[in-house]
Chain A
Amino acid sequence: GQQVMQIPQYQHVQEGEDFTTYCNSSTTLSNIQWYKQRPGGHPVFLIQLVKSGEVKKQKRLTFQFGEAKKNSSLHITATQTTDVGTYFCAGRYNFNKFYFGSGTKLNVKP
């Protein structure tokens, strides 16, 4: 089946430090979505990227979609304890189904 690789698996940062997670696909994606899952919770939609080279910002979060539409990144500036959770990318190849990356678990130390 389709695979979306995501790194790193874990990231521990001090509050105020930046954080980045990366997703990569061996084949071109139609679009990519990003989700956040808090411990014990379910994934919550953050954003969707569609266009090649697209960059979107949500406050301290910056999302990028690569020019070849094979990779994407989520960057958080000046992390806060409220950013704790697991961040997943979900790539869409065709039709209307998404394949999730393995997730990056972010821990922020106050």
Chain B
Amino acid sequence: GAVVSQHPSWVICKSGTSVKIECRSLDFQATTMFWYRQFPKQSLMLMATSNEGSKATYEQGVEKDKFLINHASLTLSTLTVTSAHPEDSSFYICSAPRSGIAYEQYFGPGTRLTVT
């Protein structure tokens, strides 16, 4: 099946610093990628839709200046958490839908962010 990678798999940073998370579709092109946030034992909350060649669209309540998204190519989207705070600590997971009959989403393994 299709593979989506994320890097890093975990990161610890200090308050006030910025962290960049990469999401790559390894064996297919993705004009759209999604970024989710998942709290422990909770569901995935859609944060934003990353669009190759255009601006990302953010869900209501998600600060676009805090969570910067760049879809640099058909296989790479990045999420930068700017001026991170402890409340930003979470599991961030991306997905890349594969065009076709099912439009199924292939999820990356996720990035565990801990802000101290």
Contacts and interface: CB of A to CB of B under 8 A. Distances in A.
Contact of B110 (A42, A48, A98, A100): A42
Interface string B88-116: 00000101010000111111111000000
Contact of A48 (B36, B49, B61, B102): B102
B106 A96 contact: no
Interface residues of B, number: 25
Nearest to A48: B102
B103 A97 contact: no
Interface stretch (B10-18, B40-48, B67-75, B79-87): B40-48
29 contacts: A1-B59, A1-B61, A33-B102, A33-B104, A35-B105, A41-B109, A42-B93, A42-B107, A42-B108, A42-B109, A43-B44, A45-B104, A45-B105, A45-B106, A47-B102, A88-B43, A95-B49, A96-B32, A96-B103, A97-B46, A98-B34, A98-B105, A99-B46, A100-B44, A100-B45, A101-B43, A102-B42, A102-B43, A105-B41
